[in-house]
Structure 1
Amino acid sequence: IVFTVDHGEEWGGKSWMKVKELKRLFSGFGCKLIQNHKGHMEENAHLERSHRTDDEKFYIPRVLNMKSEIDLLDEALGYIYYYNNLREHSSLNCQTPYQHLQKYLPEVDKNIRFVIPIMLDKVSVRDWQLEWIQCPGAAPILLFSKLNMNN
């Protein structure tokens, strides 16, 4: 798995040390982190289009009804499930993203359909660690845990 990211602070920003630590963290999961080139939004075209869809279909119609962070996360959970598992995409030959993934990776764990939203402004390399937790009879869960900053 390759994560292509921009130069936002949540992905290390201008700090080569943060970027290095993120790359180390991702490599522990067998993933690779690549920062696209500054000023080249076309390198993130699919992501930018996804953000536009999120704005038009999720945030703009719902934002005034969300009164708390819990409301936002609850709405986001439902939207992510709908978008990836129920909504047919013309770019995927009228399949859902999950159906498309199953076509190319039939052994994919069905629990991948349930993506839990997180607040990125509460996640940073410095304050958090990631680890996979294996639950008996279930798919592994990616756990974000707060580091003890007093050590």
Structure 2
Amino acid sequence: MKVFPDLDLFPNSYNLNQENGFLFVGLVMMWLRCWGIDKEVFWQEDWGKEFGGDDPHKLRLINERRYKIYGAVLGKAPKGRKGYQGRVERSHKTDDEEFYIPLIPTFKNCSHFLKETQKWQIYYNTKRPHFWLLY
């Protein structure tokens, strides 16, 4: 899950599921609030089932139960408009091509993976060139 597409944050868990996603939303929202960011926060999701899919009732329910309590709103990227998720998808591709694919075979255990993930985040956020910044 990309919180800020220009900043790589890896939420790690043993299971990829809706509940862990909502826990991460809560963690990020509490972090923002602790830093005095008190404006409404808009979370843009794709059309995945874990965040309501095509069901407007489920989207409303998720908004009420999981986002409103933090002063946040869950919204959807317009269907068929891939550009709205472009930076997120591009950073996912970068993670895959430069981190996961070449390095997964080298990880000895979970601890080693987490250490390498932390190194990747630091490199990606502070040293790796981001060519969009040149525009």
TM bin, normalised by shorter chain, reads: 0.5 to 0.7
The letter of the residue matching 1:6 is D
Structure having greater relative contact order (Cα 8 Å, sep ≥ 6): 2
Are 2:70 and 1:29 aligned?
Answer: yes
Query: Structure 1 length as normaliser, TM-score?
Result: 0.49
Deviation at 1:44, TM superposition (A): 0.9
Query: Structure 2 length as normaliser, TM-score?
Result: 0.53
> In structure 1, what is the Cα distance between the partners aligned to 2:69 and 2:100?
33
For residue 62 of structure 2, give the secondary structure of its aligned residue in structure 1: helix
Tell me the alpha carbon deviations over residues 15-50 of structure 1, each in whole angstroms, 9 at most, x when there is no partner.
445423432322322322211133332221111111
The letter of the residue matching 2:123 is Y
Which runs of structure 2 are paired with 1:1-151 in the superposition (5 Å)?
A: 1-24=41-64, 25-93=66-134
Structure (1 or 2) with the greater helix fraction: 2
Tell me the alpha carbon deviations over residues 48-86 of structure 1, each in whole angstroms, 9 at most, x when there is no partner.
111111111111111212355554444323222321233
The letter of the residue matching 1:33 is L
> In structure 2, what is the Cα distance between the partners aligned to 1:14 and 1:72?
35
Answer with 1 or 2: which has the greater Rg: 1
Question: Unaligned 5+ residue runs, structure 1?
Answer: 94-151
Question: Unaligned 5+ residue runs, structure 2?
Answer: 1-40
